[in-house]
Structure 1
Amino acid sequence: MMLLPCPNCGARNVSEFRYVGEAKTRPDPTTATPQEWRRHLYLHRNPAGWTRETWYHGSGCRRYFAIERNTVDNAVRTAGATS
């Protein structure tokens, strides 16, 4: 069982959450080219090691938050709310 530390509810089973994806900056909609949108939506780093991710706690506080997770062993290093 994998536990994720929700900043509002505490550590909970991963089945309560939805993985949103890598935490990254969204391009400016007024100036972004189609190539920049394609890169943002479809190209992901997928590293083996520490990565910053966004998760949604659908069965709890219904908030988004970011964590740093090691994709090799699922260890979680930090947690925080997102805007």
Structure 2
Amino acid sequence: MRIPCPICGERDRREFYYKGAAVALDRPGPDAGEAAWDAYVYLRENPAGRTRELWYHEGGCGAWLVVTRDTVSHEIFGAELAGEADV
């Protein structure tokens, strides 16, 4: 799999570190209870199909990227710098 880094160009997936879904999480309040905190820390969606993911270009420029990828076919549809992405 090749990821198009906006700074370095297309690179092999092994230069990157996957960090999870690029979604905003709603942090529970301090008094939300154990179940709410357990869900916040451990439960994530795992959709099949097109997703937006957070990747770190560890073996290159050190940029954080939001990569749009199909989790079934691994096709990459694009990547943008995380600071410029609408998350």
TM above 0.5: yes
Gapped runs of 5+ residues in structure 2? none
Q: Which amino acid aligns with 1:4?
A: I
Q: Which residue of 2 is the match for residue 76 of structure 1?
A: 76
TM-score by length of 1: 0.82
Q: For this pair of structures, how many residues does the alignment match? A: 81
2:38 partner SS: helix
Q: Which residue of 1 is the match for residue 51 of structure 2?
A: 51
In structure 1, distance between residues paired with 2:13 and 2:53: 14
TM-superposed deviation, 1:44: 1.4
Question: Which structure would you say has the larger Rg?
Answer: 2
Q: Which amino acid aligns with 2:72?
A: V
Question: In percent, how many aligned pairs have the same letter?
Answer: 40
TM-score by length of 2: 0.79
Gapped runs of 5+ residues in structure 1? none
